[in-house]
Amino acid sequence: MDLSTKIEETRKRFAQELSAASTQEERDRVKNRYLSGPKCVLRGLFGELGRLSPAQKADGGRALNALKGELEEACRALAQQDRREKEHKLPPDPSLPGRLPPLGRRHPVTQTMDDVIEVFARLGFDVVHGPEIENERNNFQALNIPLDHPSRDAFDTFYLEPPWLLRSHTSPVQVRTMLRRKPPIRVIAPGKVFRPDKADASHLPMFHQVEGLAVGEGVTFAQLKGVLLLFAESMFGVGTQVRFRPSFFPFTEPSAEVDISCFICGAKGCSACKGSGWMEILGAGMVHPHVFEAVGLDPGRFTGFAFGMGIERICMLRHGVADIRYFLENHLRFLEQF
Ligand SMILES: [Zn+2]
């Protein structure tokens, strides 16, 4: 029998014996018999190379090395398959950590709203709510905005069946509160408001405001200033300055636009504050005597201050959000940053 025939026989026998072996132990025995130690089958075949001519020796050596590689590979493949089957049969391991379901979080606008509420709650303001569908009287007339007054254009809204409309600001909650409670009053009213604005980087037809109202005997503009300074420092950091600029609102007199010193550049001037060092954040003023008359309070006895701010705007300032529409697009990659 020549060497190539012996190699062929060995290949067949090995395949038969290996497939007949049913346990890893038996397979190891087959492997050892053919591949391991000085007395193994393969070593015997290599020993026969010595009796061949130099030319045959080279061919025989190549053939034997190929056979050796094949046999080893067959053993490796079987062992691997065996391992996989074993893993498959493993019972569930209750000590493995569970898979967490993805957790939701508060919307950035809600977070800012909650933070604003918390600051004023610490200052003794109650949270009150009013309906989003409001009547014309509470939204306009009782706030000293007569039907044909030009200032009404600034507060235009979506009209439903008369006298109903979607409130254009949270100020009607002032009216509702003063009709229901007697002074002293200290409330904030958070909620949604509606304006027929086209959506762009800084406008949405629906957004959020927080309204504040304090009414009593001897409530002063100085107290308004103190409250808003405390708010600005709590919200934007100690050392934040406030600046009051004269302005006009129908329901307050005097009225002011309130700016805070830019907390990004420290009031030196940057792109966020358009180089001015100041950021406009809210409107405020002393409650107009006409508003007190509309709710049956004596303007000779009571005074009060009111303020209102857009929550989206504050949220954008705090986090450097460039476009108000991001808040409504529901992209998780945006929302997960907050
Ligand atoms: Zn700045």
Q: What is the pLDDT of residues 229-270, one digit of tens each?
A: 999 999 999 999 999 999 999 999 999 999 999 988 888 888
- 185 alpha carbon – ligand 1 mean position (Å): 36
- 281 alpha carbon – ligand 1 mean position (Å): 14
- Taking 70 as the threshold, does the pLDDT of residue 24 lie above it? yes
- 139 alpha carbon – ligand 1 mean position (Å): 35
Tokens, residue 215: 């009414």
Output the pLDDT for position 154: 67
Residue-range domains of the chain with CATH: 3-89 (no CATH), 109-335 (3.30.930.10)
Q: What is the mean pLDDT of residues 70-93?
A: 84
Beta-carbon neighbours within 5 Å of ion ligand 1 = 262, 264-265, 270, 272-273
Output the pLDDT for position 81: 84
Q: What is the pLDDT of residues 113-168, one digit of tens each?
A: 999 999 999 999 999 999 999 999 999 999 998 877 777 776 678 889 989 999 99
Q: What is the pLDDT of residues 153-170, one digit of tens each?
A: 766 788 899 899 999 999
On the 0-12 / 13-18 / 19+ scale of CB atoms within 10 A, 306 is: buried
- Taking 90 as the threshold, does the pLDDT of residue 216 lie above it? yes
Where would I find the beta strands (DSSP E) of the chain?
126-127, 133-135, 164-166, 185-194, 206-216, 242-249, 252-261, 278-287, 303-310
- 120 alpha carbon – ligand 1 mean position (Å): 26
Output the pLDDT for position 177: 96
